[in-house]
Amino acid sequence: MRIRNKMASVVWKVVLLAFGTYGLLDGAGILAGAYTPAFPHMFTNVSNLFAWAYFLIATIWLVRNREDEEAVTFAPQVKYTATISLLVTMLIAHFLLFDAMFKDGQLVWHLVFLHYVVPIMTLLDWALFDEKGKMPVWGPLAWMSLVVVYLAVVMIGAGPLGLNLGGGTTADVTRYPYTFLDPALSGVGGVVAFCGVMLVAFVALGYVLFGLDRLLARLDRR
């Protein structure tokens, strides 16, 4: 059973936005008084900025439509795109880049918020407050759009255009934001294979979410 209390939904989203705001500002170096130029190069930050903008607009929309019982989820397909993008962020960070979560043996808290807290809260926002059974069967393909656009921009920008898009731990190693995207380090075949496997895996993840949506819709009707 989903929670139908709109005030609870608004409060949840405001807390999510607060965690996201801290994570993004600290990750960008702004809280320390110095902007990090490589900040927009990392998919962690791109996906979290996308989600932050979505939830800001969705929260305002929900407050303005608090009396409308039919107004439950603002721009659902945009929300699902944000959700899948954040799950991509969380799973890649956890399984491929977990060591980057630490600096001098200490957790980097803005990475904890951006890699775990915001993605998990976003998934729970859907699970707790959204009307189920509304996801289209083609949805998981469309929800990968942010990932696909990001990969295209990075590969064209750092490749043919020669832009320095390095960031984080790769800043002094490669002009790509991640070493596994650099053909010089991973090989062209390695990069193609990684991107292909990742896209297939996360489309499959989208269909897992789609399946859960249908299952929860059936349970909700009982």
**Tens of pLDDT, residues 129-183:** 999 999 999 999 999 999 999 999 999 999 999 999 987 666 678 899 998 999 9
Q: Which of 94-108, 109-123, 171-185 has the lowest mean pLDDT?
A: 94-108
Residues 5-27 have a mean pLDDT of 97
- Runs of H (alpha helix) within the chain: 6-27, 43-64, 76-96, 109-112, 118-129, 139-142, 145-158, 183-186, 188-221
User: Shortest CA distance to 82 belongs to which of 9, 16, 2?
Assistant: 16
pLDDT band at 21 (very low <50, low <70, confident <90, very high): very high
Tokens representing residue 73 in the block: 């989820």
pTM across the whole model:
0.94
Q: How many CB atoms lie within 10 A of CB 164?
A: 14
* Residue where the block lists tokens 């929670």: 3
210/221 Cα distance (integer angstroms): 17
Residues 184-205 have a mean pLDDT of 94
Give the contacts of 160 (CB within 8 A, at least 6 positions apart): none
**Taking the domains of the chain in order of start, what are their residue ranges?**
6-221
* Residue where the block lists tokens 């399946």: 211
* Residue 7: exposure state from Cβ atoms within 10 A (0-12, 13-18, ≥19): exposed
Residue 208 confidence (pLDDT) above 80: yes
22/149 Cα distance (integer angstroms): 26
Say what the pLDDT of residue 100 is.
78
Say what the pLDDT of residue 102 is.
82
21/196 Cα distance (integer angstroms): 32
**Tens of pLDDT, residues 50-86:** 999 999 999 999 999 988 888 889 999 999 999 999 9
User: Shortest CA distance to 150 belongs to which of 88, 75, 57, 77?
Assistant: 88
